[in-house]
Amino acid sequence: MKVLVTGASGMLGGGVAQQLAARGDEVTVFQRRPSSLIGVREVTGDVTDPTSVRKAVEGMDAVVHLAAKVNVTGPWAEYAAVNIDGVRNLLGALRETGVPRLVHVSSPSVAHHGHALVGAGAGPADPERARGNYARSKAAGEQLALAADGPDLAVVAIRPHLVWGPGDTQLVGRIVQRAREGRLPLVGSGAALIDTTYVDNAVDATIAALDRIETARGEALVVTNGEPRPVEEIFARLCLSAGVAAPTRHVPFGVAWLAGAAVEGVWALGKRRDDPPLTRFLAEQLATAHWFDQSHTRAVLDWTPAVGLEEGFERMRQWYAA
């Protein structure tokens, strides 16, 4: 099968591309910068450019779409250009070229309204109630993608939650760096239960969605390890893997939320491009339970996680040790 993977410079996208190539698929990757992946065809371009998107999808049997603006802060126009208009450009190219399958990689944040999620299902994407520019734009993009499911194009949305693993510069890299600098407080009690997803499991689930798209089409499916743990434990185990002291300082949620609002204001006034140390959304995520019922996802995809959290933490320790 000829498969295009967009956003393959990221950890999850690169993993999907490499796994597809390893099993014998003819893989093309599409992103703004060369990915240096082995065994794949490289096409550089931007999802905001309809011409380059059409050129990339030409002749494909399927597309796995991961390209997105994922920064914590930034102007709405930048998120909309990539996460909404980029999806619109991709869908237009798929219609013009007749590509019949699309796996759209989304996020559980598209249906998170700031309240605790305890054994929750996927829930509908809601741009009006999602928290922050990233979540709102991804919600709108997912709605576009799923609305395109029809006789000539099968679409499924996959929502991997808090993906981590060796080499991760986003979630793990930031946690470890801030813990090393003494800038990683626990918001609230640290007891809120959260789901995470080891990267190999997220890769396998994404590929399962491609293989079972006729069964899963039209659906949004949250993907996690299905092993919710307290935030404090997740932080401690990741820090331990890296040989860094775990955080012990607690900050009340109200204080963290107000601090996040203030930091967002400073970043906006200064038009800063780097990620801030705290935002209101991050404070909510660290203080609020969010874990998901995985029974439907696993039944539809005929998939179960191959790597448990304990094995994942050990792999992280080995990676840091090396």
Q: What is the pLDDT of residue 262?
A: 82
Unique residue bearing structure tokens 């065994």: 39
**Could you give the number of structural domains in the chain?**
1
- 35 in any annotated domain: yes
Cβ proximity of 40 and 64 under 8 Å: no
- 29 in any annotated domain: yes
- 63 in any annotated domain: yes
Enumerate the H helices of the chain as residue ranges: 11-22, 50-57, 76-83, 85-97, 132-147, 171-180, 199-211, 213-216, 231-241, 253-270, 280-287, 295-301, 309-321
Distances (CA, A) of 69 to 7, 122, 275: 10, 22, 13
- 124 in any annotated domain: yes
- 84 in any annotated domain: yes
**Residue 202 amino acid letter:** A
Domain span at 131: 2-163+197-224+291-306
Cβ proximity of 149 and 249 under 8 Å: no
- 34 in any annotated domain: yes
Q: What is the pLDDT of residue 285?
A: 74
- 149 in any annotated domain: yes
Residue among 79, 134, 198, 320 flagged as catalytic = 134
Looking at the chain, the number of H-run helices and the number of E-run strands are 13, 15
Q: Is 79 a catalytic residue?
A: no
Give ∠ CA 263-269-274 in degrees, rounded to 5.
60
**Structure tokens of 58?**
């030409």
Unique residue bearing structure tokens 């992280």: 316
d(CA 286, CA 302) in angstroms, rounded, equals: 31
- 319 in any annotated domain: no
Write down the pTM of the prediction: 0.93
What tens-digit pLDDT sequence spans the chain (322 residues)? 999 999 988 899 999 999 999 999 999 999 888 878 888 999 999 999 999 999 999 999 999 999 999 877 778 899 999 999 999 999 999 999 999 999 999 999 998 877 777 888 888 998 998 888 899 999 999 999 999 999 999 999 999 999 999 988 878 888 888 888 888 888 888 889 999 999 999 999 999 999 999 999 999 999 999 999 999 999 999 999 999 998 888 888 788 778 777 877 777 777 777 777 777 777 777 778 888 999 999 999 999 999 999 999 999 999 999 8
The CATH number given to whatever domain includes residue 41 is 3.40.50.720
**Structure tokens of 135?**
């979540």
